[in-house]
Amino acid sequence: MKFDHPIENKPGSDILILGNGFYAANDPIYGSSTIGGSIEPGIVYVGVGKNLEEAKWYELAGSEYYTSEIHDFEITYHKPTAESGEHSQFGSSHDNYIKWECSWTDKNGERRDSTGYHCKNVYHRQSYWPLWEGKDELTFKGGKLPNNAIDTSGKGTYWVLYRYAKDAYGYADACPATDSLYSSFDINWAVDDEGNQVVLDHIDFIRVKTGIFQYCGWLGETSTEVSSVLDLHLVEGYDDNPYIITPRKRPSTGIQLPTVSDHQMRGDAAYYTLTGQRVERVERGKIYIHKGKKVVF
């Protein structure tokens, strides 16, 4: 999305993104002290540029960015061949509705992959596939957050989607919609592909992606909802008392110094970037994944 003006980076949070999150009234596990209910976190990206084609994008690093977020998740969906079919799962009208394949790099630097199907929800009668797409496959890439749902009934009838912590921040639709503080976002959280902070004096575009790949029975897939986006600096008096969220510090990398004679890396000596791309030549001073560990050459 784009406003009719650049959003300036000023002290405190700069953007408000409201969703429709709420806490459960009767959480069977945590009761009235719960931080679970309908929490569907979305990762927020900001873009700088004259248009979408030229814009440079940066992720706003939320509370899970340096600890539990996967940064190179890729998933491909296949166009369904039928809108109804065999079903035995609760709330399903077609168990093997949309086939998907995904891959990612785990915390040990190992490539992982998985495949499966999303069933079609009995309450969602229209096609899931975007009708304007002529392709038979759609691929998406980006960050992935940890799954947050628990089937508290054990029968697939009562799901609770939990917030990561009471002070978790940096994700859309990841707290009650009435919580303006934790629905706010600071442009200073912007990072590059290696997780390094980027200094921006303004942004031109905002993008929100569903951050979780998770299916919750009759509730269907976890999907981030956005109801409104606001430039906080346009609110009268806001800049006199802005929202302040102190971001979590980047943890130590546990850096080691590898001894190598040839910078051409092959086989089990391969080096990868922090987002999982294999490199043919390492550069001094940069951090890589090597044999499951973070190292700097």
Kindly report, residue by residue over 93-102, the tens digit of the pLDDT: 999 999 999 9
- Is 133 a domain residue? yes
Is 67 in the same domain as 160?
A: yes
d(CA 71, CA 141): 9
Is 229 in the same domain as 281?
A: no
Dihedral sign from CA coordinates of 249, 250, 251, 257 = negative
Q: How many other CB atoms are found less than 10 A from the CB of residue 189?
A: 23
**Residue reference for tokens 């392709």:** 135
> Mind listing the pLDDT tens digit for each residue in 202-221?
999 999 999 999 999 899 99
> Mind listing the pLDDT tens digit for each residue in 110-128?
999 999 999 999 999 999 9
Q: What is the pLDDT of residue 296?
A: 67
Which region, left, alpha or beta, applies to residue 195 given φ > 0 means left and ψ of -120 to 50 means alpha? Answer: left
Structure tokens at 252: 């130590």
- Is 245 a domain residue? no
Q: What is the mean pLDDT of residues 131-146?
A: 95
- Is 68 a domain residue? yes
Is 30 in the same domain as 111?
A: yes
- Is 246 a domain residue? no
Give the least confident one: 139-153, 241-255, 272-286. Answer: 272-286
Q: What is the pLDDT of residue 267?
A: 46
Q: What is the pLDDT of residue 253?
A: 57
Model confidence at 44, pLDDT cuts 50, 70, 90, reads very high
Arithmetic mean of pLDDT over the chain: 90
**Could you tell me the residue range of the domain that residue 280 belongs to?**
251-297
Is 162 in the same domain as 262?
A: no
Q: What is the pTM of this model?
A: 0.83
Task: Please list the residues that pair with 70 across neighbouring strands.
Answer: 144
Q: In total, how many domains does the chain have? A: 2
Is 199 in the same domain as 135?
A: yes
